Amino acid sequence: MAWEFPERPSGKGLLWKQIFHIETITKWGPSGSATIASLRVTRLLVKHKKPFTDGEILKSCFLEAADSLFDGMKNKQEISNCIKELQLSKQSIVRRAESISENVLSQLKKDLYACSCFSLQFDESNDAIDIAQLCVFSRLIFHDLTVKEELFAIIPMKERTTGENIYNSFKTFLLSFELLPLMKKLVSITTDGAPAMIGNQNGFIAFCRKDEHFPKFLSYHCIIHQHALCGKMLNFNYVMETTVKIINSIRAKPLQRRLFRLFLEQVDAIYGDLPLHCDIRWLSKGLILSRFRELLSYIKEFSKENNKNWHFLENPDWLINLAFLTDITSKLNELNLELQGKNRYIIDMISSINAFIMKLELWISQIRKENFTHFPNIEDEFTKQLVNKNHYVNEFAMVLEKIMNEFNNRFSDFKKITILCSFFVSPSMDVDIENISEEFSKMFDVDRRKSQIEIINLKNDITLKLHSNVNMWKFMSQEKYPILIDSYQRILSCFGSTYLSETLFSSMKMIKSQHRTRLTDDHLGDCMRIAKAYTSQNLK
């Protein structure tokens, strides 16, 4: 028997309706429909990161709801009997979760056989009991250019997390599920840039390159991680540390926080509280600086009422530096948000990075001319302070130049494929055919002479010019352009970041929390696979 799961509705009120269908029960009979309903409930429980024991609570809710919803109906007793047959004990939910996870993994395996190529991203993080969980996501590209992102594996690392240990654990997983032969389709591996991953001699990537089962593949350091490292070039610690100190003085004591929130409510402030800073969160610094500056006048007034003398809150130099730091971190945050998200192609991410570098060039030029159009907080602060702008203009321009140089240095690896990405986005543009074919040969080990001929044919293909540059790849003949189509699919498969792994770790903290530490590694893997699986929407 094959069954399909419907799409999850957005409203919570539809949850019971999605799980329990009277039509399904009537069609398949009590025993068959009870099994299907049990599977549906299990999938929803795991998707919502709920404990296995909540199945029994749901069953009780069904019975209570049915007693009122179907009161007065002739088949009320029949419906109640069907609900009672639901297998929602803890043991049943566990078995169902194992079955669904196995089904999802089997579909992933079929997709791996069917796809043209795929890429992987690796990251690891500790769970609630400090077991390192290695997360592996895959992006599969099919012959029709369909793209699918799936959780490839969750591998517990109970010992050390050296490059060799990660490599051995991953290869053991491949062997146990008979996936090692499929590694020949691997295009690239993206990691978080940790030494255990990218070490020249003993890193995970180095061990994979030495393994004959792995092809010649590309490797990248997560763009978002590198972006965060570039942001650390902002050497304004005295401003940041002081800001955090003031926020902590208000947030540290419950009474102070209550009084401050009450004060903001009385003065009708746009915000009702100050956020705490968390250095490991990508957007934290920009958010607290922006909020702090918008509430600065209220913070000054509240501090005076509570006999707190923060003298630097009246210091023009400190305030101007705070304004600059607020502006530049907000721009870094905007770039960070552009780089995040599912189905983000490396072509788009490189475009965002290149655009930001050009913006930095523009901002440096404008600031040197005392034009602060793109820095509203600085412009606002300069209107309040009677200071010499020249000193700050040179200082801020130097800081932006330092950031720009860091971006240029860190993203040099991605520049190697920029020329190919530009060609794939706009094949009709004027390009150096020999240069493009050489890049194809270096990156994908293809016949340079054949690629040159295909490029020439493509640039003069009148039929394909009827389609847009992006959509034209779907209409290209595999027989006529085998090298170009294969290379385009490889570029599409590449991950630019480890965003999917990072979001999965957020789910892991909810699934295996401090209240659920006895969850085994196998069951944690099952829950994470179901919670993030695309194929679990259509189990067969």
Verify that 300 and 247 share a domain, yes or no: yes
What are the tokens at 5? 């799961």
Count of domains for the chain: 4
Verify that 141 and 278 share a domain, yes or no: no
Q: At what angle do helices 376-384 and 389-410 cross, to 10 degrees?
A: 160
Total length of the chain = 540
Q: Domain residues for 466?
A: 428-493
Q: Is the pLDDT of residue 320 over 90?
A: yes
Q: What is the pLDDT of residue 468?
A: 61
In angstroms, the CA 443 to CA 14 distance is 50
| Residue 399: inside a domain | yes
**3-class DSSP state for residue 525?**
helix
Residue, of 364 and 419, whose pLDDT is higher: 364
How many beta carbons lie within 10 A of that of residue 134, not counting itself? Answer: 21
Q: What is the pLDDT of residue 384?
A: 85
Q: Alpha helix (H) ranges present in 369-480?
A: 376-384, 389-410, 412-425, 433-444, 448-459, 472-475
pLDDT tens per residue across span 276-288:
887 767 778 888 9
| Residue 25: inside a domain | no
Verify that 324 and 442 share a domain, yes or no: no
Verify that 236 and 260 share a domain, yes or no: yes
pTM here is 0.86
Q: Is the pLDDT of residue 4 over 70?
A: no
Strand spans (E) along 129-217: 132-141, 147-157, 186-191
Averaged pLDDT of the chain: 86
Scored b (16 or more CB within 10 A) or e, 88-125 reads beeebbbebbeebbebbbebbeebbeebbbbbbbbbbb
Q: Is the pLDDT of residue 323 over 70?
A: yes
| Residue 321: inside a domain | yes
| Residue 370: inside a domain | yes
| Residue 16: inside a domain | no
Helix %, strand %, coil % of the chain (to 5): 65, 10, 30
What are the tokens at 73? 């109906």
| Local structure of residue 261 (DSSP, 8 states) | H
Verify that 186 and 128 share a domain, yes or no: yes
Verify that 215 and 256 share a domain, yes or no: no
Contacts of 540 (CB under 8 A, 6+ apart): 2, 3, 4, 103, 107
Verify that 200 and 131 share a domain, yes or no: yes
| Residue 323: inside a domain | yes
**Among all chains, which residue has been given the structure tokens 């890193």?**
203
Question: What average pLDDT score do residues 331-359 get?
Answer: 91
Verify that 385 and 463 share a domain, yes or no: no
Verify that 184 and 308 share a domain, yes or no: no
| Residue 37: inside a domain | yes
pLDDT tens per residue across span 165-174:
999 999 999 9
Verify that 266 and 371 share a domain, yes or no: yes
| Residue 540: inside a domain | no
Q: What is the CATH number of the domain that holds 520?
A: 3.30.420
Q: Is the pLDDT of residue 2 over 80?
A: no
Verify that 209 and 236 share a domain, yes or no: no
Verify that 108 and 39 share a domain, yes or no: no
Q: List the one residue out of 142, 207, 138, 220 whose CA is nearest residue 179.
A: 138
Q: What is the pLDDT of residue 467?
A: 67
Adjacent-strand bridge partners of 134: 124, 155
In angstroms, the CA 491 to CA 417 distance is 9
